[in-house]
Structure 1
Amino acid sequence: MEFGDKIKELRTTNQLTQEQFAIRLNVTRQAVSNWENNRNLPDLELLILISSIFHISLDELILGGSNVNNMTEKLIKDGSKTRRAKLNMITTLIGSFLLFFGFACFFIKMNSVEYIDETGILHENFYLLPIGFLFLFAGIIVFLVTGIRFIIEIVRIKAEKTN
């Protein structure tokens, strides 16, 4: 059973008009109409509210039986998009911090004073150069991997749309 049919059945079983159903869920009547005609789908918070108000399990509401319908596909797709977006954001932040620390090492090295003390020992922050290059290299690698994964995902989505 499609999600729209399930919502309409739930509404008519409780002897509610679309307007009354919408008022109970604090949405517009047009939103209920769009749900029933499978033009749009409610978000997760509304699904939880519908299941609690009308005493129906989320499994029964979303799956409508044992078949996977478009609501289930939407929830799965939304979940994977959210995880992908979070992963992209985290890797971008990590790459930015790595690049920042690399440039900070170069800046500190550039502004540090090198001197020879009275015992003839050279005092220099020579270790900042390889550490700076290491941070820059790691940041660039993180950005490249994230960019390549993003491009591959776009190509995969376009290929799915054409099939």
Structure 2
Amino acid sequence: MEFGEQIKEIRKEHQLTQEQFANKLNVTRQAVSNWENNRNLPDLEMLIMIANFFHLSLDELTLGGTQVNDMTKKLIKDGSETRRAKLNLISTLIGTFLLLLGFSFIFIKANSVEYIDASGILHENFYLLPIGFVFLFAGIIVFLVTGIRYLVAILKK
């Protein structure tokens, strides 16, 4: 059963008009009409509110039986987009951290003092340059991979 049919059935079982149903959920009558005509779907918070108000499980409300309906597809899509957004945020933060770390090492190397001690040994922080460049390279790679994955996701839509 489609989600719109299910909402209409729930509303009629409780002998409510669209206006009364909307008032109980603090939405407009037009929103209820759009749900019933499958023009629009409620968000997850509204689904939880509907399920609680009418004493239904979310499975009953979203699945509407054994078939996958539009609401189930929307929830799956929203969940995967949320995970993708979190992954992009984490990747961006990691890339930023790596770039800042790389710039820090290079800055420290540029401002460090090289000296020769009394026994004639040169003291220099030469290792900071390759480490800085490795972190810069890693940060750039993280940004490139994140950007490419984002573009691929957009093109799949």
TM above 0.5: yes
Q: Which residue does the alignment assign to 1:161?
A: none
Q: Which residue does the alignment assign to 2:114?
A: 114
Deviation (angstroms), 1:12: 1.0
Count of residues paired in the alignment: 157
Give a deviation string over 1:107-161, Cα, whole Å, max 9, x none: 111111111122222221111111101101111111121122222222322xxxx
Matches within 5 A, 1:44-63: 44-63=44-63
User: Which aligned runs of 4 or more in structure 1 are off by greater than 6 angstroms?
Assistant: none
Consecutive unaligned residues of structure 1, counting only runs of 5 or more, are: 158-163
Give a deviation string over 1:5-32, Cα, whole Å, max 9, x none: 1111101110111121112112122211
TM-score of the superposed pair, with normalisation by structure 2 = 0.94
TM-score of the superposed pair, with normalisation by structure 1 = 0.91
Give a deviation string over 1:23-73, Cα, whole Å, max 9, x none: 211212221111111111111111111111101111111111111111011
Matches within 5 A, 1:60-71: 60-71=60-71
Q: Which residue does the alignment assign to 1:85?
A: 85
Over the residues paired in the alignment, what is the CA RMSD in angstroms? 1.2
Structure 2 CA distance, aligned partners of 1:52 and 1:154?
35
**How many percent identity over aligned positions?**
75
Q: Which residue does the alignment assign to 2:28?
A: 28
Amino acid at match of 1:6: Q
- Secondary structure of 2:94's aligned partner: helix
